[in-house]
Amino acid sequence: MEKATPDSRILIDIVKMHMPFGKYKGTLLCDLPVSYLEWMCSKGWPAGKLGMMLATVYEIKINGMQSILYAVKNAVNDK
């Protein structure tokens, strides 16, 4: 079995991609409120890459590591 390794490009995608549907359509994934992410978690994440990215944002935010998202967002915007 192949060992899974983290992909740092996911963080770049999270700070660039907008929510494609729902109440927060058009909001950057990294800017979604925790309350919305909690609700989505209880309903089940969407399939595919979007669901994985939303779950990642949720884990980052509930563990108080938003500074990671701020740093990536600032680095991407500075380019």
Residue 47 main-chain phi, psi, to 5 deg: -70, 155
The CA-based diameter of the chain, rounded to the nearest angstrom, is 40
Give how many domains the chain has, as a whole number. Answer: 1
- Per-residue pLDDT tens digits for 9-57: 999 999 999 999 999 999 999 999 999 999 999 999 999 999 999 999 9
Classify residue 22: in a domain, yes or no. Answer: yes
Amino acid sitting at position 40:
M
pLDDT in the model for residue 2: 66
Domain that holds residue 36: 9-77
For residues 21 and 11, is the Cβ–Cβ distance under 8 A? no
Classify residue 2: in a domain, yes or no. Answer: no
For residues 19 and 30, is the Cβ–Cβ distance under 8 A? no
Structure tokens, 5:
């390794």
Classify residue 4: in a domain, yes or no. Answer: no
Classify residue 36: in a domain, yes or no. Answer: yes
Structure tokens, 56:
């990642």
Classify residue 1: in a domain, yes or no. Answer: no
Classify residue 72: in a domain, yes or no. Answer: yes
